[in-house]
Amino acid sequence: MIRSAKLARLSRRRVLKGMLNGAAVTVGLPLLDCMLSDSGRALASGAPLPIRFVTWFWGLGGNASVFVPKKTGADYDLPEELQALERVRQHVNVYTNFNAFRDSAPNLCHYTGWIVCRSGAAPIASEDKPGETIDVIIARTIGRALRFPTVMVTANGDMRTSFSYENANSVNAAEPSPLNLYTRIFGPDYQDPNADGFTPSPIVMARRSVLSGVLDQTRELASVVGAADRARLDQYFTGLRDLERQFDQQLTKPEPIAACHKVDPPGPDPRSGIDADVVALRHRQLTDLMVMALVCDQTRVFNMAYSAAFASTIKPGYEKPHHTTTHEEPIDKETGYQPIASWFARRAMEEWAYFVEAFARVREGDGTLLDNTLIYASTDTNWARIHSIDGIPMFTAGRAGGRVRTGLHVDGGGTAATRVGYTALKVLGVDAASWGTKSNSTSSEVSEVLA
């Protein structure tokens, strides 16, 4: 798939190269009536529809007694806290009884669990971020040449809530503002793939040229710093190279995309705050924008945080935020769980359902955007009350171009939670013999969900 896409781009560049010779020109490339091949699984050029990888995060897990379906396999039941998934159940796989292993590392509250699920390794201290997150790995395979290789957005209003990093000192800051997100993606730099004409921007060519000078300066600077700082400069240098590639792409007429349409600005940002209603509003605005960013091929990888691991979401009128509630609220003797904590988990699941549905609503090819996407959802704990990371729940949604079966509940039998991430890596074409470290290392995909 990737190879084909590259060939398609090269072909267009070859055509444009002659036209660009010196002056700005406008190239009329009419939008085709039918941009899909007969199969409905490929663009008219022959390039297959891209497969995307998306992550979704919610904090503080759930109450297992009302979260874990009793039935495994297809047609699984929906316990109380998963009731909101009724309308998307056929798209969603539920993974339970998978463990995040810490080995000799401490169980760092609300931290170890998500780090293992996203990086494959247990941190040894609260500031430790081992490895790199799964979105970064996959973006290197499927998203590097796009405008945004990977994007991190968060619905809790805090740019520090990020589940995407290259290393401990290189965290992808989250975008909390729908308006800013709109501007970043669909603002002045956006190239509408369905625009009638295409004018390669001479100023982009000039910018690209200037970058080469900056690259030279970076080489020189690297000669006067120590080894650790040189590695940081290498990272900066790599970033410049990626910017160059992105400029190249801006000089290329994008391939028309039928499902991509103009996005209206979202209007003023929702009020500040983290009560569940405003978080939901922000979550839905960010989701809708990112869905269209995928459709319009501005990125193929992004991460959504519904909340932080230490989720401080508020239930209006209740004095404690979600995190504190999970620790301090007594267990109701009749139901066997913490009712307010469960309220928070249910609100999170309502948003998870919205998220999945947002992908399922978009027609793409002969299916939907969700059919061409794999969404991986994870959390930080199983039972937040005691910071349990055994049986840490996860979900996936989407069929990843037909490579994944959906609508299943998988019991992991106590095996590594990293198997779900590893499955995602393989499905997205990452050449990885294994993923994770120590007990979290796995080379075993979750075969039940592979088509």
Partner 1 sequence: MDLSVPGIGWRYPPAPGRGPRAAAAVLALALLPLTSAADTASAPAAILPTGPADAATPARMRLVSQEQYFNSLGYVFGPDISVPAHFAPFRRTDGLLASGSASAGVTLAQMQEFQRTARSLAEQVVSPANRDYLVPCRPRDAVRADRDCAREFLLPVGRLLFRRPVDEPTADAVVAKSAAAADQLHDFYGGLAVALEGLLMAPQALFVVDRTEPDPARPGYGRLDAYSLASRLSFFLWNAAPDEELLRAAQKGELATPEGRAKTVDRMLASPRLETGMRAFFDDMLRFDDLAVLAKDPGIYPVFGAETLADAREQTLRTLIDHLIVRRHDYRDLFTTRETFITPALAVIYGVAAAPGWNAYASPADSPRAGLLTQVSFLAGHAHPGRSSPTLRGKALRELLLCQTVPRPPPNVDFSLLEDANSRLRTARERLDLHQSNPVCAGCHKITDPIGLAFEQFDGAGQYRATERGAAIDASGVLDGRKFDDLAGLSATMREHPQLSACLVRRVYGWATGGPTQPADKPVLEWLGAEFAADGYRLPDLLRTIALSSAFATVREAAPAAAAGGGAP
306-325 positions binding partner 1, by CB under 8 A: 312, 314, 316-321, 324
Least distance to partner 1 from the beta carbon of 69, Å?
26
Closer of 239 and 414 to partner 1 (Cβ): 239
Q: Binding residue for partner 1 (CB under 8 A) from 33, 220, 264, 334?
A: 220
Using rule CB under 8 A, residue 268 touches partner 1? no
Least distance to partner 1 from the beta carbon of 236, Å?
5
Closer of 299 and 406 to partner 1 (Cβ): 299
Least distance to partner 1 from the beta carbon of 385, Å?
8
Using rule CB under 8 A, residue 270 touches partner 1? no
- Residue 271-290 contact track with partner 1, rule CB under 8 A, x = bound: -xxxx---------------
Least distance to partner 1 from the beta carbon of 304, Å?
15
246-265 positions binding partner 1, by CB under 8 A: 246
Q: Binding residue for partner 1 (CB under 8 A) from 10, 214, 450, 451?
A: 214
Q: Binding residue for partner 1 (CB under 8 A) from 27, 36, 159, 432?
A: 159
For residue 303, what are the β-bridge partners?
Answer: 55, 152
Size of the site for partner 1 (CB under 8 A): 81
- Residue 30-49 contact track with partner 1, rule CB under 8 A, x = bound: --------------------
Q: Binding residue for partner 1 (CB under 8 A) from 26, 90, 126, 434?
A: 126
Closer of 146 and 397 to partner 1 (Cβ): 146
Q: Binding residue for partner 1 (CB under 8 A) from 16, 54, 84, 152?
A: 152
96-125 positions binding partner 1, by CB under 8 A: 107-109
- Angstrom CA distances, 275 to 137, 159, 308, 328, 356, stand at 33, 17, 13, 19, 22
